[in-house]
Amino acid sequence: MKLLIDENISPEITSHLRTLKYNVKSIRECCKGYDDEKIVEMAVSEERLIVTYDLDFGELYRNFGASSLILRLRSKNPSVVLKYLVNFLNALKEQKIDMKNKLAVITEGKVRLIG
């Protein structure tokens, strides 16, 4: 799975995902300051799943169909976020769920999958 990590996500999370062999591109590293629409264009053209805390990507998903995963966790502590994120990514792999043109919202209590 190819991921596009928004600049609001800790570099520690990006680094850890790479050690787990995920194909990760970081906005913070390559394109800091890109507006959301430019990030969506990149995600769509490169077929990447956007990982973000930014709720605006829910609206951009509706308008452009960009595959997105919005983290709505109370804590942004990298170890906490990684726990939820890696569990979700593993579940996608195990259940063979394709995230193309889908939106996922992860909270401590549940995962909503739309699309």
Amino acid at position 7, single letter:
E
Domains of the chain by residue range: 2-114
Rounded to the nearest integer, the mean pLDDT of the chain is: 93
Whole-number pLDDT of residue 61: 79
Gap between the Cα atoms of 106 and 6, Å rounded: 15
Cross-strand partners of 42:
none
How much is the pTM? 0.92
For the domain bounded by 2-114, which CATH number is listed? Answer: 3.40.50
Whole-number pLDDT of residue 57: 82
Q: Give me the mean pLDDT over the 15-26 stretch.
A: 97
In 28-59, which positions are buried (b, 16+ CB within 10 angstroms) versus exposed (e)?
eeeeeeeebeebbebbbeeebbbbbebeebee
Q: Give the tokens for residue 41.
A: 């264009």
Q: How confident is the model at residue 63 (pLDDT cuts 50, 70, 90)?
A: confident
Which SS3 state, helix, strand or coil, does residue 91 take? Answer: helix
Distance of CA 110 to the CA centre of its chain: 16
Q: How confident is the model at residue 60 (pLDDT cuts 50, 70, 90)?
A: confident
